[in-house]
Chain A
Amino acid sequence: MSTSTSAASRIKPWLPLLGIALLALALLVIAPAMLSPFRLNNLGKYCCWAIVAVGIGLAWGRGGMLVMGQGVFFGIGGYAMAMHLKLEAAGPGQVPDFMQLYGDGSMPWWWEPFRSPVITIAAIILVPALVAGLLGFAIFKRRVKGAYFAILTQALAVVFATLLIATIKQTGGFNGLNNFPSFFGYSLYDPVNKKMVYLIAAGLLIVCLVIVWQINRSRFGELLVATRDAEERVRFLGHDPANIKLIAFVIAAVMASVGGAMFAPIAGIISPSDVDAAASILFIAGVALGGRAGLFGPALGALAVGYGQSTLSERFPNEWTYFQGALFVVVILLIPGGLSSVLKRFRKDVARQTTELRGLTVTEPPTEVKVHG
């Protein structure tokens, strides 16, 4: 800091924006031009996971809340969207095909509102906010331990998947919801529309990055990091840490839901195995790999893990599970700051960095703790 000129310090806060712009260029311009429709669709899936990861980065990396059940919110968004797409495919007044096959052909009342695109989009944002708000309120307000919170979120994911599997007539059960011919009126068999859906997902990822970037710069962002590092002190300063955590948790939940909502039309299916405890854990893997507390770490990590799953799992199906396990062990044990922290270590101030790390070990995530801005 001592050597920074006034000009540089004026530019500095805007550099992340440059990074976002470059990522936008790569995802929105270069990728669609270079990749085949099949590969682009896969990249779209990774983008959906990356949107979830950006939210996890906020809740876990910045806020210190280990959210192990984001699959639930991913599922809420995914199923909300899938329900709308199923109803769209069925046509006005008609009932989705699986309800005629597995049920008595009647539709549960709570499906009816999802005929409306507007209500569907509202639900994708409001329902996860409500669920996360209620659960977060119950846990944070009563000052339940952070570890308990992590376990309860994972238990929620288990319960959610079980519930989905058992409600065959309402949610398609184990098979999930699939076979979506169109997306808000646009045929998904048309490659041009497929590309459009991809661009929406990639665009939403960029939007989420901008939102988190702004949050990190804001006073709330500072309070969030402060709560992570010293909750009691924040309380003494007259803030309620519960509210701060609650807001971050809700934002992360909404982002997960948005990711899920785009996942359904891109993957062509949403089923319990996309949202269960194992899937929720995989969401975290990318965040840990990329670097939980940075702006780009979670998103890039999630893209990398998604890509790894598609390619490595083909050639090394068994080794892939070992790799996943080793990823958690090695990254979190040895490089808790993720790969982005390794990149930083190439810089000369290794010594300063390590003292920073050492000084940090009393708090939970010993990563980039400095609040920029």
Chain B
Amino acid sequence: MDSLTTPLLTGAATGAILLIAALGLALTFGQMGVINMAHGEFLMAGAYAAYLTQQVIGNADVSILVALPVAFVVAGMLGLLLELFIISRMYHRPLDTLLVTVGVGLILQQAAKDVFGAQGDPVSSPGWLDGSIGVFGYNWPYRGLFTIVLALLALGALAAVLKYTSFGRQIRATVQNRDLAETLGISTKRVDRMTFFIGSGLAGVGGVAVALISGTFPTLGTAYIIPAFLVVVAGGLGQLKGTVIAAFAVGILTQYLTSWFSGSMAQVLVFALVVIFLQVKPQGLFTVRTRGLA
């Protein structure tokens, strides 16, 4: 029983982090066709924001709650700068933005090494996250639950913004038909910038969740970026529900495969399954039919 249920629960927590990381990616990829390989480093920036917040505030119980908005803004600002100075100059060259952001990621990693040192810095869990609840013989840590709640909150907030605010409507209009949106008087440039801010900010929030698992270190983002991309690829673009389903599917599947085989084999098999899945659904789970994207 335990070996059947435990990976479900650990996998849900893994999936939650993948979801937060992938939401931002799917957003910017879906809207602008931009693949941001520095997204993992925004995750890392969020983790360091959590670390620094803890240094300033001291009290771990409070600091983690303060760290969430701080990490959102820090990573969001990094995204905004990236958009402003680099990406806005090279729309229509999606593959090139991919490479440029690889370069940006390298620079951010090295900068983190120079500023904070290559050795990891600890982030203490708040007292109210200590402990666990027993579920079928598995001591499910509150931290896992917290991650899932965090992911669902982020998802809910994003969905609400997209659905109910005028800014959200502008984003959706831009995704579906950029030219038409422009003729309606929407400043797509401004919309792009804000989308990038939000997408990157979400990575920062994910970084806080990661910091609770592994502390902070400069290469922290690299372990999450590829799985997050696989989630985006499998989930399809334009609809959040695809990303949600894919994130939890990948997370839970990874933990089952880890439990049955090994962590290394799990990575191999998840990749193979995504490629096979693309044979059935080349566009991912869900996709929005648009005229803008060929």
Contact = CB atoms under 8 A, between A and B. Distances in A.
B212 to A, nearest CB: 24
Given A148-B278, A150-B35, A165 B264 contact: yes
Interface string A258-295: 00000000000000000001000100100010000000
A364 B278 CA distance: 23
Interface stretch (B48-56, B102-110, B149-157, B191-199): B102-110
Interface stretch (B123-131, B175-183, B265-273): B265-273
Contact of B267 (A162, A322, A365): A162
A288 B226 CA distance: 22
Interface in B195-236: 222, 226, 229-230, 233
A328 B106 contact: yes
Contacts of B110: 318, 321-322, 325
B278 A144 contact: yes
Interface residues of A, number: 45
Interface string A138-173: 110011101110111011101100110110000000
Given A318-B114, A326-B107, A329-B100, A146 B278 contact: no
A281 B282 contact: no
B268 A162 contact: yes
A147 to B, nearest CB: 5
A166 B136 CA distance: 31
B99 interface: yes
B93 A336 contact: yes
B98 interface: yes
Contacts of A325: 103-107, 110
B186 to A, nearest CB: 22
B264 A166 contact: yes
Contact of B29 (A144, A147, A362): A147
For B92, B262, B264, which residue has the most chain A Cβ atoms within 10 angstroms? B264
B33 interface: yes
Given A232-B294, A326-B103, A158 B267 contact: yes
B89 interface: yes
Contacts of A156: 271
A158 B95 CA distance: 19
Interface residues of B, number: 42
A154 B227 CA distance: 11
B81 interface: no
A28 interface: no
B43 to A, nearest CB: 16
Nearest to B278: A144
Contact of A147 (B90, B98, B114, B264): B98
Given A147-B29, A147-B33, A147-B98, A332 B103 contact: yes
B226 A155 contact: yes
Contact of B282 (A142, A155, A326): A142
B133 interface: no
Contacts of A361: 92-93
A245 to B, nearest CB: 14
A205 B29 CA distance: 37
A22 to B, nearest CB: 30
Contacts of B282: 142-144
Contacts of B99: 66, 284, 288, 328, 332
Contacts of B278: 138-139, 142, 144, 148
Contacts of A364: 93-96
Contacts of B166: none
For B99, B229, B275, which residue has the most chain A Cβ atoms within 10 angstroms? B99
Contact of B106 (A147, A159, A324, A365): A324
**9 shortest interchain CB distances as A-B pairs:** A328-B103, A325-B106, A166-B264, A325-B107, A142-B282, A321-B110, A329-B103, A325-B103, A66-B95
Interface of B: 29, 33, 35, 86, 89-90, 92-96, 98-100, 102-107, 109-110, 113-114, 222, 226, 229-230, 233, 262, 264-265, 267-268, 271, 274-276, 278-279, 282, 294
27 contacts: A66-B98, A135-B275, A138-B275, A139-B278, A142-B278, A147-B29, A147-B95, A151-B35, A151-B230, A155-B226, A155-B271, A165-B264, A281-B102, A318-B110, A321-B107, A322-B107, A322-B110, A324-B103, A324-B106, A325-B104, A328-B103, A332-B103, A333-B90, A333-B96, A361-B93, A364-B95, A364-B96
